[in-house]
Structure 1
Amino acid sequence: MEENHEVKLRVRVSANDVHYAGNLVDGAHIMKLFGDVATEITIRYDGDEGLLRGYENVEFLEPVYGGDFLEVVGKIVKVGNTSRKIIFEAFKIITSSNDVNQESACDLLESPILVAKAVGTSVVTKDKQRKTDPTGFEPAT
């Protein structure tokens, strides 16, 4: 898929993002990251930030903790006149080793862990669309 149809964002979850006991991060933080990915996708595709209209099929699959590193991916799967349907996935790629003798030790995960996924729709009104897609876009499957 062409680069303007898929966006990857890597971020470390900060201690400031912890919301619950046990260093647990709330799902709303991941939703914010999905929104950031949607914004970048519409900028790349349309030349405008657009507006994330809504989500469907949101699933939180595994816990996320302060200190984890996430890779958040979004892909356009359907394009309408003004709407862009996007699938989102968030993967944990690095996590704390929880070694009490080495508080800063972290582990690179052999396989990324899918922690959340969703489908969203972004809208860019015709008057805001500044780009035409030169790539002959084919939706992801």
Structure 2
Amino acid sequence: MNEQQTVTFRYRMSDRDVFYGGGVVNGARNITLMNDAANRLMAKVFGNTGHCVEVKKVRLYVPSHAGDYMEYIARVKNIEGNRALIEVRSFKIIEVPEHPEFPSSIDVLTDPPLSTVVQFVYEAY
């Protein structure tokens, strides 16, 4: 098994992801999507999704809003037997401007800010 494998996917937050006023998405929504990235990585590395047995670290840095495009990058930090420590980072890569000129306006961020970091411990079947 290669400990350097990664999985990357992108997701656009929608109005149905909003939890707080002002279009702010609940941090738990990001963590759920990060768990999806970890599951995909487990399937890639171990051939099955296994199951999460521990969440070691959760850090929330930058909130996401409806219309933001998020990028999730999962990578294996360590493998011991059938257990894997997987770190997932989310970055805000595109956001909706505060006062858009057009309804479809977006800002592509040249230096995407780190939004959330989570470390999961997975156990393969």
Provide the TM-score with structure 2 as the length reference.
0.92
Q: Is the partner of 1:30 in helix, strand or coil?
A: helix
Deviations 1:66-117 (A, max 9, x none): 1000000111010011111011110000000122542321100011110110
Q: Is the partner of 2:109 in helix, strand or coil?
A: strand
CA contact (8 A) 2:76 2:86 kept: yes
Q: What corresponds to 1:76 in structure 2?
A: 76
Structure 1 letter corresponding to 2:92: K
Structure 2 unmatched runs, 5+: none
Aligned-partner Cα distance in 2 for 1:90–1:114 = 6
Q: Is the partner of 2:28 in helix, strand or coil?
A: helix
Find the structure with the greater CA-based Rg. Answer: 1
Structure 1 unmatched runs, 5+: 126-141
Aligned residues: 124
Aligned-partner Cα distance in 1 for 2:110–2:47 = 36
Q: What corresponds to 1:25 in structure 2?
A: 25
Aligned-partner Cα distance in 2 for 1:105–1:123 = 43
Deviations 1:1-53 (A, max 9, x none): x6972111111011110000010000110111111011111111111111112
Provide the TM-score with structure 1 as the length reference.
0.82
**Equivalence map 1:1-141=2 (5 Å):** 5-125=5-125
Identity of aligned residues (%): 26
CA contact (8 A) 1:38 1:52 kept: no
Going from structure 1 to structure 2, the CA distance change for 1:78 and 1:36 (only over 3 Å counts) comes to same
Q: Is the partner of 2:64 in helix, strand or coil?
A: coil
C-alpha displacement of 1:118: 1.5
